[in-house]
Amino acid sequence: MTREHEHIEATEASEASEASEASEATEASEASEATESQTPKARRTRRRRSELSRTLTPANQPRKPGVPKEQITLTLQLTKLCLLFCGLAAPVAVYQGTYEVLIANVVMASLAWWIQGKAKANDVNAGAWLLASCQLAILLQVLTAQPSLGVHHWLLITTVLPFALLSANQRWLMVALSAINVGLVGVFSLRAEFDHPHAASRIAAETLSALAVAWLGLTARRAADIANKRARHAKALSDSLLDSALPTAIANHLRKRPGSFAFSASDTSILFADLVGFTALTEQIANQQMINLLDELFSEFDDVMQRVGATKIKTIGDAYMATCNVLQVHEDHALRLVVAGRQMCAITRKIGLQHSVDLGLRVAIHSGPLVGGVLGQDGLAFDVWGRTVNTAARLESKAPVDSVLVSDSTRLALLDACKLEPLQAWQLKGIDIPVLTWRVLEAPSLEHIRVGDVQQQQWSLD
């Protein structure tokens, strides 16, 4: 989707404002001329590439992404560990009479409980709060304990924790906090080992150990970020391919509930269209020219279907199949397909003249209930079935060239919105009774079709 940008009026000098407006008008004019000079196929290709690019680029991602699931899980596990530690340490503090330790444990437990709630709510700052609490608790313990006890080694925990608890956009803060903890390990090692005969080597060994822990944390976080980025890119690509292969509503349903499924729709219209003279034309033109011609035609048909709110089902050779009021609610579904069918006939005549070929189009529309669903494992396919579909397919061969043929059920659904000419009743294969048919003589233009927010159809899932 394109983003609308609000133009802020300049409040500086009036000359600068006029110059800016003139420059913007010139650029807009040049862009408009460049767009008009392109063919419809080139514009559609560029638009599709732009949509795919916006889908895959990081700029399309939220500016403040939520916390990754792995980070939330780690934060919750660490808060539970803190609660367990405080719960075990509190009775010991009471027994020893060290009430300052008891108070510290109660405060730490309260913080851990609060942070746990933040993590469950997917708060991006939950990890930072847990890191700050652990840093403060360990630092106070190191400062109050005897240096000879080696409590300063606990700082190795807060050396690696920043890489696990902070979000990806806080990388410099991770490195800074880890470096500070490496420095603190060196300082407190100096205090603890100052009187030792081999103080220098022991201090260097402890500092290098802290540095190695920090490096491992940074390397592991970098690898995790790269893996997450690739996973997001793969998911974006997969979603883009799914959206291009299936209608949006079907693709969204499959993301929530993967696998084949079926649904029924009670009041729909379905359109079948078939090119006249195309089979003979394939023997006269090159293969690539044939493909280019079909691509141009069907791309124009797709634009028409999107404009009227209909859903393309598939193409079969040089035949085109679409339906309306299946995925989106349109009470005037029959009228929308009639308007689309007439527009498809006009497009076929226009492209035939452009390519100097003799092409025609037969269009038939029938209304009624149908069953839809998704099938397949390797290649998912959305399709519809039922008597309504079979009737529309049989009627297509009876339609006059460059005209739209509708059944009697579609005529009733049109509610006198079109001028129709009665034709004969056809006895179709597989249909028990003859089907009355009508040819559309006049219908509203494409511009009269109301476009706006549409409601997704509530399917009756089987």
pLDDT tens readout for residues 272-294: 999 998 888 888 888 888 888 89
Most confident of 121-130, 233-242, 329-338: 329-338
- Report CA dihedral (125, 131, 133, 137) to the nearest 10 degrees: 180
- Phi and psi (nearest 5°) for 417? -80, -10
Question: Which domains does the chain carry?
Answer: 69-238 (no CATH), 254-461 (3.30.70.1230)
DSSP code per residue over 147-187: GGGTGGGGHHHHHHHHHHHS-GGGHHHHHHHHHHHHHHHHH
Q: Is the pLDDT of residue 5 over 60?
A: no
Lookup: tokens for 381? 């396919």
Mean pLDDT of the 313-332 span: 89
User: What is each CA distance from 315 to 4, 295, 335, 383, in whole angstroms?
Assistant: 34, 11, 22, 11
CA distance 62 to 64: 5
State pLDDT tens for residues 116-154: 676 666 665 666 777 777 777 777 666 766 666 566 677
Contact 296, 303 (CB under 8 A): no
pTM score = 0.57
Distances (CA, A) of 298 to 38, 275, 290, 344, 347: 18, 11, 12, 9, 10
